[in-house]
Structure 1
Amino acid sequence: MHMHLDPKLDYVAPVSCSNCPRLVAFLDKSRQDNPDWHNAPVPSFGSINAEILILGLAPGLRGANRTGRPFTGDFAGDTLYQTLISHGFASGNYDPNGNDTLSLINVRIANAVRCVPPQNKPIGLEINNCRPFLSTELERMHQLKVILCLGRIAHDTLIRHFKLPAKDHLFSHCKSHKIKPDLSLLNSYHCSRYNVNTGRLTQPMFDDVFIKLTHLIK
């Protein structure tokens, strides 16, 4: 399944990208095992003119790597999109296969790493290699007001992009940082199955993040 959610612009990782040999090899194996999956860099979802960017870590093997749309097809996506709908940041119906009527409202969703990593864990070199795509994307988002980082690695990636002192911008759930006069960074624990099952992230805690997000963009 291939979803063309973005034009081929300079912030879109090309299918031919070979910057990360480990990820290239993992994608090659996934293409052999599941030839009908997306199995390529996953483009961002939502308008480049959105005021909100939600940043995750990387595509899941059976989620975005399968469907070609960020956070679509796995537990984290089920949680994220239902929460977006309930808080008015998305409309329509969400389907884990991506064949749905879902539409984001003033939101764009991206990953710090655009290709699926083994065991859902990119290494530092891969995060660094992929950062130029994210950096260019951020520069193109001229209306951007809030970046919601799902997880510490997404947070750290943004801190490095903006060249901010890490000690003054620590990751903490539902904490926001003013990084420019017109731009805030908001943190949340990742909505992964592990975090939800262990109680690190509850639905009320996730709701609190989106309540705060609503206030930040006003």
Structure 2
Amino acid sequence: MGQPSNIVGEVVPSPAEPPRDCPRCPRLVAYRRENQALYPDWFNGPAPSFGDHEARLLVVGLAPGRKGANRTGRPFTGDYAGTLLYDTLVKYGFATGKFEARPDDSLKLVGSAVTNAVRCAPPGNKPETSEENNCRPFLTARLEMFPNLKAIVTLGDVSRRNLLKALGLKASAGLPGHGTEFQAGPYRVFNSYHCSRLNTNTGRLTTPMFEALFERVKAYLDANP
């Protein structure tokens, strides 16, 4: 499967991206091998970060979906969450092209990047605490490799807590809930509910709510060039 032209991560070995055969989490390794046996043409590995090396905005999700990034190899690609996320990034100038839920589409992130707190797909979309801990060094390293990073959007409270811990802060350092905004070290953090189909189908997160948050992000970055 071809990799997007502006992929961040596996183009060269990096401490910010786990290897394809990462052994750190036995439960996730077993799940990966199960999916490899069932679907050998899927990506079936730690989904590398995606985006612009000069990103000023980073979006941090929870983990790859089994039929999403675990299948395609690109964060938020292959399931509904990516449609809302990437269409919103395009709308506010953080991406160009068209998102078509496949890694060889014309989508390109501009001044932004997307990653996950846990890089391997977990059973039931729920990583265990030990798995979050095992994967956190990759998130810390990824943050350190964006020289222009100023704003971070966290999708869900698990993402928010992992980001704070990756920065060496307490998980309680930033308020939970959709629309909260706080400073975490050198970064301005904007927390959103996760853009999953469950949240959008139940009305917990609506498109106007999600877009309003990114409008605030854009205003913040425009005011802090």
TM-score range normalised by the length of the shorter chain: over 0.9
The alpha carbon displacement at 1:163 in A equals 3.0
Q: How does 1:26-65 map to 2 (within 5 A)?
A: 26-65=31-70
Aligned to 2:98: 93
SS at match of 1:147: strand
CA shift at 1:139, angstroms? 1.1
Which of the residues 200, 205, 208 maps onto 2:209?
205
CA distance in 2, matches of 1:46, 1:137: 12
* Match of residue 26 from structure 2: 21
- Change in Cα spacing, 1:204 to 1:128, as seen in structure 2 (3 Å) is same
TM-score (norm 1): 0.95
Q: 2: distance between equivalents of 1:167 and 1:125?
A: 18
Counterparts of 1:32 and 1:164, CA distance in 2: 40
Identity fraction in percent: 45
One-letter code aligned to 1:10: P
Please report how far the alpha carbon of residue 183 of structure 1 lies from its aligned counterpart in structure 2 after TM superposition. Answer: 1.7
State the distance in 2 between where 1:174 and 1:88 align: 20
Does residue 157 in structure 1 map to residue 162 in structure 2? Answer: yes
Matches within 5 A, 1:127-138: 127-138=132-143
User: Contact 1:146 / 1:213 at 8 angstroms: preserved in 2?
Assistant: yes
Structure 1 unaligned segments of length 5 or more: list them.
none
More displaced 10-residue stretch of structure 1: 4-13 or 60-69 = 4-13
Distance 2:190 2:115 in 1: 15
The count of aligned residue pairs is: 217
Which 4+ residue blocks in structure 1 deviate beyond 3 angstroms?
A: 165-168
Q: Which SS does the other structure have where 2:154 is aligned? A: strand
Please state if 1:144 is matched with 2:135: no
Q: Deviations over 1:158-205 (max 9, x none)?
A: 12122334444221211111123x421110000000000111000110
Higher deviation after alignment, 170-179 or 157-166: 157-166
Q: Is the 8 A contact 2:95 2:109 kept in 1?
A: yes
Q: Name the amino acid aligned to 1:129.
A: N
Amino acid at match of 1:216: Y
SS class of match (1:70): coil
State the 1:82 CA deviation: 1.1
* Alignment match of 2:130 (pick from 119, 125, 130): 125
**Is the CA contact (8 Å cut-off) linking 2:47 and 2:75 kept in structure 1?**
yes
Closer, same or farther: CA 20–91 of 1 in aligned 2, 3 Å: same
For the residue of structure 2 that corresponds to 1:187, the secondary structure is strand
Instruction: Report the AA paired with residue 177 of structure 2.
Output: S
Residues 44 and 111 of structure 1 are in contact (CA less than 8 Å); yes or no, is this contact kept in structure 2?
yes
Q: In the alignment, is the contact (CA less than 8 A) between 2:175 and 2:181 conserved in 1?
A: no
Cα distance in structure 1, aligned partners of 2:38 and 2:190:
38
The one-letter code sitting in structure 1 at the alignment partner of 2:127 is: P
Query: Counterpart of 1:171?
Result: 176
Q: Which amino acid aligns with 1:29?
A: E
- Note the alpha carbon deviations across 1:27-51, whole angstroms, 9 max, x for none: 0010011100000111000122211
How many Å separate the matches in 2 of 1:65 and 1:141?
24
